[in-house]
Structure 1
Amino acid sequence: MDLQLEGTVVLVTGASRGLGAAMALALAKEGATVVAAARSKDSLAEVAAQGEGRISAVTVDMRDEESVRALVPEVVARHGRIDGLVNNAGIAPAGKFATQDPEVWKDAMAVNVIAPMLLAQAAGQHMIEQGAGRIVNIASTTGVRGKPYLVPYSTSKGAVVRFTEALAAEWAPKNVQVNCIAPGAFVTEAQKAVTESPELHAKRIAKIPAGRMADPSEIVPLTCLLVSPLSSFTTGAVFVVDGGESGKL
């Protein structure tokens, strides 16, 4: 199936590794011009090198509002437009809530909520002027179901879900679709503590009806579809990709 991504311009944040890198590479393979943004310059360069000339890199810290505000204008200056935005960058601070420093919460909100809001606001203005656009926010199953010891992360990702739904309703008349993907357990660097421990890995898998963790490649077909013009009547949806974990009792 032709997803009609040839000639489109897509910004992917948190694209230096894991799910972000997988999504950036898949979008480029489908014909999109991809701007990959993240903090790690070296890792971004490795991703861009695999993009067959379709991926360019921008180093940005999502905690830095000034840098975040400059990101979309830079994409438009480079390519003349922006058709898709994948808000993937995120942090997941763990700890006991009773003794958690408020700075931990401020960081989680800055990266997981404020940065996506600023990027969506800036990108959306161009998309509305162009007559179309698509935004995909990456939340988490912890934004759909709360998880202990990840209270700030769960809270911030829950905000991403509500943000998606509200913005989708506001921008649907403008032909800008806003959707959300809530991933469960994926085999990424962020999950090394789990995947490298047989005991933790077994406990994690026991919670997943599918009986395994997902590969990053398993999020990319849905991402590409939601960035594609073919998803023009799909908006305000939250797609859970977790092997059935959050759907069971």
Structure 2
Amino acid sequence: MDLRLRDAVVLVTGASRGLGAAIALRLAAEGAHVVGAARSKDALDELAERGDGRITAVEADMRDEDAVAGLADEVVARHGRIDALLNNAGVAPAGRFADQDPAVWKETMAVNVIAPMLLARAAGRHMIAQGGGRIVNVASTTGVRGKPHLVAYSTSKGAVVRFTEALAAEWAAKNVQVNCLAPGAFRTDAQRAVLESPDLLRRRVARIPAGRIADPAELVPLACLLLSPLSSFTTGATFVVDGGESGKL
């Protein structure tokens, strides 16, 4: 299927590894011009080398509001437009809620909620001016159903889901579609502790009806579809991709 992404300009945050890197590479393979943003310059440069000249690396810290707010303008300055935005960067601090420093909450909200808001606002202004665009926010299954020892993360991702729905309703008439992905357990650095422990992995997999941890490539097609013009009547939706875990009673 032709996703009509050739020469589309897409900004991907958290692009240096995991889900963000996998999506960025597929977008490039589809012919898009990808601007990949993350803190890890070395990993971004490696990603750009794999992108056949279609991935531009931009070092950016999602905790820096001024830098985040200027990313969309930088993309437009480079490419003349911005067609799609993938808000993928995030942090997931684990710990007992009663013992967690409020500073952890402030950083979690800064990266997981404030940064996507700033990026969506800046990118959306360009999209509206050019006649439309697409925004995909990456939440988590913990944003749909809260998880113990990930209270700050669950709260932030729940906010991302509500943000997606509200912004989609506000910008639908502007031809800007806003959707959300809620991944479950994927083979990324975020699951490293689980993947490296046979006992933790066994217990984690036991909660997933599909009986396994997913590969990042299994999220890529849906993400690219939502970032493409083919999703022009899909907005305000949250797509849970978790092997049936959230639906398990």
Q: Which of the five TM-score ranges fits, normalised by the shorter chain? A: over 0.9
Correspondence for 1:33: 33
Partner of 2:225: 225
Aligned residue in 2 for 1:122: 122
Measure the CA separation in 2 of the matches of 1:96 and 1:240: 26
Unaligned runs of 5+ in 1: none
Deviation at 1:148, TM superposition (A): 0.2
| Partner SS state of residue 70, structure 2 | helix
Aligned CA RMSD, in angstroms, stands at 0.5
**Greater mean deviation of Cα atoms: 186-195 or 158-167:** 186-195
Deviation at 1:189, TM superposition (A): 1.5
Normalised to the residue count of structure 1, the TM-score between the two structures is 0.99
| Corresponding residue for residue 144 of structure 1 | 144
Deviations 1:14-67 (A, max 9, x none): 000000000100111111100000000000011111000000000000001011
Gaps of 5+ in 2: none
**Segments of 4+ moved more than 4 angstroms:** none
Instruction: Look up the match of 1:90.
Output: 90
Q: Please give the per-residue CA displacement for 1:80-139, whole angstroms capped at 9, x wherever unaligned.
A: 000000000000001111111110000000000000000000000000011110000000
1:190-240 CA-to-partner distances (Å, cap 9, x unmatched) read 211100110000000000000000000011000110011010000000000
Helix, strand or coil at the partner of 1:107: helix
Q: Distance in 1 between matches of 2:96 and 2:122?
A: 35
**2:55 is the alignment partner of 1:55:** yes
- Which amino acid in 2 is paired with 1:106? K
Q: Match of 2:176?
A: 176
The secondary structure found in structure 1 opposite 2:161 is helix
Partner of 2:204: 204
Measure, in 2, the Cα distance between the counterparts of 1:46 and 1:205.
Answer: 31
TM superposition score normalised by structure 2: 0.99
Q: Report the Cα offset of residue 69 of structure 1.
A: 1.1
Query: Is 1:79–2:79 an aligned residue pair?
Result: yes
Aligned pairs for 1:185-204 within 5 A: 185-204=185-204
Amino acid aligned to 1:230? L
Q: What CA distance in whole angstroms lies between the structure 1 residues aligned with 2:121 and 2:188? A: 29
**Could you tell me how far apart the structure 2 residues matched to 1:85 and 1:10 are?**
6
Rounded Cα–Cα distance in structure 2 between residues aligned with 1:189 and 1:176 = 32
